[in-house]
Amino acid sequence: MDGWSGDSSHQHSWVQRESEAGQRSPPKLRPAAVFASANRAAHLEASPLRRTHLGSHLRAGASAGRRKRRRRRLPALPPRLPGPPAATMSASAVFILDVKGKPLISRNYKGDVAMSEIENFMPLLMQREEEGALAPLLSHGRVHFLWIKHSNLYLVATTLKNANASLVYSFLYKTVEGEDQRGPKRVYYSNVFSEYFKELEEESIRDNFVIVYELLDELMDFGFPQTTDSKILQEYITQQGNKLETGKSRVPPTVTNAVSWRSEGIKYKKNEVFIDVIESVNLLVNANGSVLLSEIVGTIKLKVFLSGMPELRLGLNDRVLFELTGLSGSKNKSVELEDVKFHQCVRLSRFDNDRTISFIPPDGDFELMSYRLSTQVKPLIWIESVIEKFSHSRVEIMVKAKGQFKKQSVANGVEISVPVPSDADSPRFKTSVGSAKYVPEKNVVIWSIKSFPGGKEYLMRAHFGLPSVEKEEVEGRPPIGVKFEIPYFTVSGIQVRYMKIIEKSGYQALPWVRYITQSGDYQLRTS
């Protein structure tokens, strides 16, 4: 924890420290000054809710300024605070380009940048690439291009403002990129476009341009992001011909909603919640076998099929909670989570107070929370490799894989990809288990093992011929990559202890939980 709230409590507050002459004193925690409990803070929170009171203030402040302004326009301004100009995100236009830079679809939101500016994008990109100075941010004249690449498409936002870069990228990603593409299976795939067509690529854009236009229209207005929640967007998009016959479309319930992420009047016959606890292991091992980086990124994803406005409470074996409640006995296994982030539906003030995770969930799929664990764990699948290259004749590869997890657990769908030189030919393999396949377009051998129990050790040998004439260009040293999935197991030992579902109609709902550990960015460098 940080220095200025030295006590074990996770709550803290920002207070002014008394600073002694020139010396940095240890921070002092103002007693009971956490915002939920402090009187003044509570007052701050409460006052605007008294609508009449606040309303008069708001109106008075604003109209007083205006009245003056109407009389003499410029000089009679209320004293301006020397604040910086608001430079938020505001996209002039959004383009989807094919791989050659030709616009497939575009939406001009503001009209302050000529749509022909996009013609400068591709030449600029090529030029930068040649200079070795390519970056996801390019500028031409006064126009900034912020772009991302997705499969064979470029998504480009143009803007004139000194905008908030990470927000623009988040927005572009929100529209196209799936949330979980790393694991062997895509556990969830939720983004705006994917609700309507499977893969976002050139073909699907051409086939679905009407929907893309509709979506672009709802996602942004005047260059400002509006609704990006895919569930709620679905209510605005009337895509199928069958709706045509009815003549009138359904009135979307969200039009009168206070909670932006959930509509009222949702109904399910069977009320269920599916909880997925997914931990991805990121690993980077040096060529000499020393672990450079090992971290676990955990996410808890929910698939919610619940009627009405349910109130959910999730209990985890969180160490901090156990310490708070004095439960930290030897019986209870608990885990310490770092860098915990929640979906905006979670009431953070309650989490800060008593570590309860309570929320009204959005409908359908969403990521409830994510966390990190940087405690060093033994690499789950350890690889030892010998790649011997005899110039002009052959390459011999020996790979040993060892499951370093509990014997009861089994890793499924293990894929170990071993790099081979691009000019290798006539592959021959021998494996103690599973099968090996040469994938020439990626210059790798993929050794797949359907099920890999913990504690076991397997071996693969591969032999490749090399042409007698050596290639001119030098090749890099790609790492060995491993993909796997271990069900019913989490590295951190996190557990869902309970999930309470309360709705005013009082229905019974079933929560389902499953645990998966999977490979994230799992790489072992080769020498």
Partner 1 sequence: MPYLGSEDVVKELKKALCNPHIQADRLRYRNVIQRVIRHMTQGLDMSGVFMEMVKASATVDIVQKKLVYLYMCTYAPLKPDLALLAINTLCKDCSDPNPMVRGLALRSMCSLRMPGVQEYIQQPILNGLRDKASYVRRVAVLGCAKMHNLHRDSEVDGALVNELYSLLRDQDPIVVVNCLRSLEEILRQEGGVVINKPIAHHLLNRMPKLDQWGQAEVLNFLLRYEPRSEEELFDILNLLDSFLKSSSPGVVMGATKLFLILAKKFPHVQTDVLVQVKGPLLAACSSESRELCFAALCHVRQILHSLPGHFSSHYKKFFCSYSEPHYIKLQKVEVLCELVNDENVQQVLEELRGYCTDVSADFAQAAIFAIGGIARTYTDQCVQILTELLGLRQEHITTVVVQTFRDLVWLCPQCTEAVCQALPGCEENIQDSEGKQALIWLLGVHGERIPNAPYVLEDFVENVKSETFPAVTMELLTALLRLFLSRPAECQDTLGRLLHYCIEEEKNMAVRDRGLFYYRLLLAGIDEVKRILCSPKSDPSLGLLEDQAERPVNSWASDFNTLVPVYGKARWATISKYQGAERRGPELPDTASFATSGPLIPEENKERVQELPDSGALVLVPNCQLTAEYFEKTWFSLKVAHQQVFPWRGAVHPDTLQMALQVVNIQTIAMSRAGAHPWKAYLSAQDDTGCLFLTELLLESENSEMQISVKQNEPRTETLNSFISVLETVFGTIGDIKS
Q: For residue 346, give the nearest of 312, 300, 316, 308 by alpha carbon.
A: 312
Is there binding between residue 12 and partner 1 (CB under 8 A)?
A: yes
Is there binding between residue 512 and partner 1 (CB under 8 A)?
A: no
Strand (E) positions, 63-108? 93-97, 103-108
Where are the alpha helices (H) located in 237-284, listed in sequence order?
Answer: 242-246
Q: How far apart are alpha carbons 211 and 215 in whole angstroms?
A: 6
Q: 35 vs 7, 30, 373, CA distance in Å?
A: 17, 11, 28
Instruction: Pick the stretch among 107-115, 316-324, 452-460, 495-503 that binds partner 1 (CB under 8 A).
Output: 107-115
Nearer to partner 1, 1 or 510 (CB): 1
Q: How far apart are alpha carbons 197 and 203 in whole angstroms?
A: 11
Q: How far apart are alpha carbons 124 and 136 in whole angstroms?
A: 12
Minimum CB–partner distance for residue 455 and partner 1 (Å) = 28
Nearer to partner 1, 351 or 458 (CB): 351
Enumerate residues 6+ apart whose C-beta is below 8 A from 364. 190, 230, 231, 303, 304
Count Cβ neighbours within 10 Å for each residue of 124-144 and write b for 16 or more, e otherwise: bbeeeeeeeeeeeebeeeebb
In terms of phi and psi (left: phi > 0; alpha: psi -120 to 50; beta: otherwise), the region of 110 is alpha
Nearer to partner 1, 1 or 327 (CB): 1
Nearer to partner 1, 50 or 392 (CB): 50
> Using the rule CB under 8 A, which residue among 145, 171, 452, 484 binds partner 1?
171
Instruction: Pick the stretch among 231-239, 300-308, 496-504, 506-514 that binds partner 1 (CB under 8 A).
Output: 231-239
Nearer to partner 1, 509 or 516 (CB): 516
Binding mask 263-292 for partner 1 (x = CB under 8 A): -------------------x-x--x----x
> Using the rule CB under 8 A, which residue among 122, 124, 134, 320 binds partner 1?
134
Instruction: Pick the stretch among 67-75, 386-394, 448-456, 504-512 that binds partner 1 (CB under 8 A).
Output: 67-75
Judge whether 78 and 68 are in contact, CB under 8 Å. yes
Is there binding between residue 471 and partner 1 (CB under 8 A)?
A: no
Is there binding between residue 257 and partner 1 (CB under 8 A)?
A: yes
Minimum CB–partner distance for residue 103 and partner 1 (Å) = 8
Nearer to partner 1, 108 or 431 (CB): 108
Nearer to partner 1, 15 or 510 (CB): 15
Q: How far apart are alpha carbons 143 and 261 in whole angstroms?
A: 34
Binding mask 301-340 for partner 1 (x = CB under 8 A): -------------------------------------xxx
Judge whether 307 and 507 are in contact, CB under 8 Å. yes
User: Total residues at the site for partner 1 (CB under 8 A)?
Assistant: 145
> Using the rule CB under 8 A, which residue among 8, 16, 505, 508 binds partner 1?
16
Concatenated DSSP letters for 338-349?
EEEEE-TTB-HH
Is there binding between residue 467 and partner 1 (CB under 8 A)?
A: no
Binding to partner 1 (CB under 8 A) within 410-439 occurs at none
